[in-house]
Amino acid sequence: MNGPAGSQALQVTGARKKYGVTEALRGVDLTLHRGEWLALLGPNGAGKTTLIRAIAGRVRLDAGAITLLGEPLDAAGGSGARAKLGVVPQDLALYPKLTARENLEVFGSLLGLAGTTLRERVRWGLDFTALAERAAERVEGFSGGMKRRLNIAAGVLHRPEVVLLDEPTVGVDPQSRQRIYEMLEGLRESGASLLMTTHQLDEVESLSGRIVIVDHGLVIADGSVPELIAKTLGGGRVVTARLHGPLQAAAAAALGGEAGAGTLSTRLQDLGAELPVWLSRVASGGGRIAELTVEAPSLHAVFLHLTGRELRE
């Protein structure tokens, strides 16, 4: 998910959008570098979709600017630059009565492809989605994962340099999700820059990309997972001890940790130096440790720390 730092593929500056009295975007600044895979996170209603739709030309900003590969992009114009943009909506925006091949032909044609190029790209799309053998089947009979894959292919047939993906893995099983991530990685390797919204925190974390967290119409954090953790929760590790029997509250407080039901946990910045000391204090406080776990702070913890809300709230 990490992209090489380089020239900007997409830049959003001071984006503002108001619906009635509700401010969906309150001055969003965001940069997507060439070849980068950027995850956009935020609770529901944070402004992610408005931002994606503004970049896709479906929302007119009240203020601010969007540039794609250095060219200005707005809802009214920017048609030349917009051809370099691929959009994969969250909905399965396919025609169910059409076959996989027909869907790709239709959307490829609408994206400006024709003749041999269109045929080649349709073939590529069927290979890309591993649906070549089912090319002649109607989409309505496909599984959710197959439809998702086709949905992605339909948005990138014209070889866009920047691809917007709104929840590309929503509603699919883990295997299909993995297949989709492989497809997206393939796109990135071929030179495309990806901007993706998602609710799959664990997978975003494992893919180790740059993450932008949006809340209340503002970017509230921007960086890789370790950077975000360092900026918000600090470094170190969370140590949790499961105890044989409860520890006295006073003793727990003296240890400087958080006491749960039969557990005690603390955050240690220098694990090597501080852990032996902490264990010794637990023992001297009367605690008998049954099990000990050491964890790095998670993106989930960062998210909760920053927004005070779960991702799906």
Partner 1 sequence: MTGTIVRIGWINLRRDRTALLLTFLLPIAFFSIFAMIFGGSSGGGTGRVEIAICDLDGSDGSRRLAAALAADPGLRATTETGDPPAPLTRESARMLVANGDLPVAVVIPKGFGDSMGQFAFGGGGSGAPESARVELLADSSDPVAPQLVFGLLQRAGMNAAPDLLARSGLSLFEKYAGGFTPQQKEAVDRILPELRGQAAAPNGGAAAGNGKTADAGTSSGIVPATIVDVLGESKKSGIIAFYAAGTGVMFLLFSMSAMSGTLLDDQESGALERLLTTPLGMTRLLLGKWIFMVAVGSAQLLVMFVFGAVVFGLELKQHLSGFAIMTLATAAAAAGLGLVLATVSRTRAQQSGMATIVILMMSAVGGSMFPRFLMSGTMQKIGLFTFNAWALDGFQKIFWYEQPLSAIVPQVCVLVVLAAAFLAVARRFARRWEAV
- Our finding on whether 89 is near partner 1 (CB under 8 A) is yes
Q: How far is the CB of 166 from partner 1 (least distance, A)?
A: 10
Q: How far is the CB of 119 from partner 1 (least distance, A)?
A: 19
Q: How many CB atoms lie within 10 A of CB 112?
A: 11
Given a contact cutoff of 8 angstroms between Cβ atoms, the answer to whether 288 and 245 are in contact is: yes
Given a contact cutoff of 8 angstroms between Cβ atoms, the answer to whether 217 and 24 are in contact is: yes
Query: Facing residues of 113 across strands?
Result: none
Site track for partner 1 across 101-130, x = CB under 8 A: ------x--xxx------------------
Q: How far is the CB of 123 from partner 1 (least distance, A)?
A: 20
- Tell how far CA 104 is from the center of its chain: 26
* Residue number with CB closer to partner 1 (96 or 226): 96
Only one of the segments 27-35, 88-96, 214-222, 263-271 lies at the binding site for partner 1 (rule: CB under 8 A); that segment is: 88-96
Q: How far is the CB of 254 from partner 1 (least distance, A)?
A: 57
Give the span between the Cα atoms of 55 and 73, in whole angstroms.
8
Pairing mode of beta strands 263-268, 289-295: unpaired
Q: Which of residues 32-71 bind partner 1 (CB under 8 A)?
A: 56-60
Q: Which of residues 176-195 bind partner 1 (CB under 8 A)?
A: none
Single-letter code of the amino acid located at 216: H
* Residue number with CB closer to partner 1 (98 or 301): 98
Q: Which of 115, 139, 187, 192 is nearest to 161 (CA)?
A: 192
* Residue number with CB closer to partner 1 (59 or 239): 59
Give the span between the Cα atoms of 194 and 111, in whole angstroms.
18
Give the span between the Cα atoms of 214 and 221, in whole angstroms.
7
- Our finding on whether 87 is near partner 1 (CB under 8 A) is yes
Q: How many CB atoms lie within 10 A of CB 202?
A: 10
Count of residues in the chain: 313
* Residue number with CB closer to partner 1 (94 or 211): 94
Which one of residues 13, 31, 90, 117 is an interface residue with partner 1 (CB under 8 A)?
90
* Residue number with CB closer to partner 1 (79 or 116): 79
* Residue number with CB closer to partner 1 (93 or 218): 93
- Our finding on whether 277 is near partner 1 (CB under 8 A) is no
* Residue number with CB closer to partner 1 (151 or 307): 151
Per-residue b or e along 274-311, where b marks 16 or more CB atoms closer than 10 Å to that residue's CB: bbeebeebbeebebeeeeeeeeebbbebbbeebbeeeb
Number of residues that bind partner 1 (CB under 8 A): 26
Place of tokens 């929760």: 233
250 in helix, strand or coil? helix
Query: Facing residues of 292 across strands?
Result: 241
Q: How far is the CB of 181 from partner 1 (least distance, A)?
A: 22
Q: Which residues bind partner 1 (CB under 8 A)?
A: 56-60, 75-76, 79, 82-83, 85, 87, 89-96, 107, 110-112, 154-155
